[in-house]
Amino acid sequence: MPIHVYVCHGRSCQERFSPYILLRLKNDRERFFPNDDIVLDTCLCRGKCQESPTIEVDGTLYTRMSPIAAGSMLAKRVAEAKKTISVNKKQKNHAVSISTTPHE
């Protein structure tokens, strides 16, 4: 399941370096997570101009972000996604199948 990250590209966010946040996230994705399904894109204003710059990750809004904080947030989100996938695989592998035999 992909991780969707949207960096606000509204005026207030741009003035507070959202283009550098997007650049940092792109570089981190290429360097640290080349095989992970991460979708990075810009978005229009999220209405939190006083708390800009903002990033939306899988529907959760993060405010007052910096390039470093955004990179850390992405690393944490990827780790959480991998942990969830690992747990799901373990549960699937440990499933017990019950066979029934007819009683005469």
Give tens-digit pLDDT for 61-70: 999 999 999 9
Determine how β-strand 3-8 pairs with β-strand 60-62. Answer: unpaired
Give tens-digit pLDDT for 47-102: 999 999 999 999 999 999 999 999 999 999 999 888 876 655 665 555 544 445 55
Instruction: In whole angstroms, give the CA distance from residue 6 to residue 62.
Output: 10
Domain range annotation of the chain: 3-93
β-sheet bridge partners, residue 40: 5
pLDDT of residue 75: 93
CATH fold for the domain made of 3-93: Glutaredoxin (3.40.30)
pLDDT of residue 99: 47
Asked if the model's pLDDT at residue 42 lies above 60, the reply is yes
pLDDT of residue 46: 92
